[in-house]
Amino acid sequence: MSKIKILLSGAIFFVLLIATSIIKNQTRVIEKKLNLLSSQILLKEKDINESQLDFFFLTSPSQIEKKIKNLGHNHYLPIKKSNIFLSLSNFKNIQKKISILDKQNEKKTKKN
């Protein structure tokens, strides 16, 4: 009778020990997910707050008037269509051509 009680209490202890480990691991995984989500939420809230602050600051009529007075209209020139690039490769090609021309001009000035 005492062996049965010892085996039964040992089995119960073993089952509870395994159940505790499983539950602990699952709660740890859930806690990690919650921490990750809460950090993502904090970043999003920070971005929203900064965006709202920028929007309210930049769109206030007094700020717009100050910028117009400080910058003036004389400093703005329309962009030539040749300066607008449709892709990065077009820009790189033109930059290569400009650098080649610059090198050629340097060689010519050194010869003279």
Decide if pLDDT at 76 tops 60: no
* Per-residue pLDDT band at 77 (split at 50, 70, 90): low
Decide if pLDDT at 108 tops 70: yes
pLDDT at position 19 = 95
Decide if pLDDT at 75 tops 70: no
Q: Would you list the domain boundaries of the chain?
A: 1-76, 79-112
What are the tens digits of pLDDT across the range 13-41?
999 999 999 999 999 999 999 999 999 99
Encode burial over 16-26: b for 16+ CB neighbours within 10 A, e otherwise.
Answer: eeeeeeeeeee
Which residue in the block uniquely carries the two structure tokens 């073993």?
14
Q: Which residues contact 58 (CB under 8 A, 6 or more apart)?
A: 64
pTM (global) more than 0.85: no
pLDDT at position 72 = 63
